[in-house]
Amino acid sequence: MVTISTNQFSNGITLRMDGKLFDMVSFQFVKPGKGGAFVRTRLKNLSTGAVKEVTFDSKDKVEQVMVDKVDMEYLYRDANSFVFMDPETFDQVPVDEHVVAELLPLLKENTTCKFKMVEGEIISVALPDHLIFQVVETTPWVKGSTAQGGNKPATLDSGAVIQVPVYLNQDEYVKVDTRTSSFVERVAAPQ
């Protein structure tokens, strides 16, 4: 167990409070004109995904959890789980659906994901910030059909539906920000 003080806070650290694990989303030191200093934080519960605000006194100490960060490649889905592979050892690791449920709309085979593990247990899985997808279905664009730009729904090869500019057509490739599931730009077909 590693105990840290509030002056050692940084974004992305993992804390254990009341037996639950939290990632620090943000923190701010506050020194009011009157009274003692304190730290205002936003913490994400790793089991529920809920974000809450917590205020710590500047003298408080909290338990920091040492997290192993590992890259794993998504291989396939079987009846009970999603199977990932460690690219260094080639070990295959089954992961329960509830751990990757948030990623499912944008998760494709052969995608390298970032795993956070505590004492051998997977606590979170994250996609790369940007991925390339093919548009498999969208309404065709007719030049002059709109006076101004706009957006329309498009179905990607992963099955996700996102909003794209009206000029995009079926079979084109797009870069998507996986954190917000939003269109970034049109790209050339991957080689």
User: If we measure between CA atoms, which residue out of 115, 114, 108 comes closest to residue 131?
Assistant: 108
Are residue 136 and residue 110 in the same domain, yes or no?
Answer: no
Is pTM, for the whole model, over 0.85?
A: no
Are residue 122 and residue 137 in the same domain, yes or no?
Answer: no
pLDDT at res. 101? 83
Are residue 136 and residue 102 in the same domain, yes or no?
Answer: no
pLDDT at res. 106? 92
Measured distance CA(11)–CA(21) in Å, rounded: 15
Are residue 35 and residue 58 in the same domain, yes or no?
Answer: yes
Length of the chain: 191
Residue 174: domain span: 130-187
Contact assessment for residue 4 and residue 18, using Cβ atoms and an 8 Å cutoff: no
Which of 22, 46, 64 is the last residue before a domain boundary? 64
pLDDT at res. 145? 59
Are residue 80 and residue 114 in the same domain, yes or no?
Answer: yes
Are residue 110 and residue 56 in the same domain, yes or no?
Answer: no
pLDDT at res. 168? 87
Are residue 43 and residue 97 in the same domain, yes or no?
Answer: no
| Tokens at 103, concatenated | 């990623």
Are residue 52 and residue 77 in the same domain, yes or no?
Answer: no
Report the CATH number that the domain containing residue 119 is assigned in CATH: 2.40.50.140
Task: Give the residues of the chain that fall short of pLDDT 50.
Answer: none
CA torsion 133-135-137-142 (nearest 10°) is 160
Condensed to tens digits (0 to 9), the pLDDT of residues 120-163 reads: 888 888 899 999 999 999 888 776 655 566 888 999 998 899 99
Are residue 120 and residue 160 in the same domain, yes or no?
Answer: no
Which of 64, 85, 112 is the last residue before a domain boundary? 64
User: If we measure between CA atoms, which residue out of 167, 140, 141, 172 comes closest to residue 156?
Assistant: 172
119-to-69, 99, 109 alpha-carbon distances in Å: 12, 16, 27
pLDDT at res. 156? 93
pLDDT at res. 99? 82
Are residue 143 and residue 176 in the same domain, yes or no?
Answer: yes
Q: How many domains does the chain have?
A: 3
Report the CATH number that the domain containing residue 32 is assigned in CATH: 2.30.30.30
pLDDT at res. 1? 67
pLDDT at res. 148? 61
Give the DSSP per-residue string, 42-60.
EEEETTT--EEEEEEETT-
Are residue 148 and residue 170 in the same domain, yes or no?
Answer: yes
What mean pLDDT, rounded, does the chain reach?
Answer: 88
Are residue 58 and residue 15 in the same domain, yes or no?
Answer: yes
Contact assessment for residue 129 and residue 179, using Cβ atoms and an 8 Å cutoff: yes
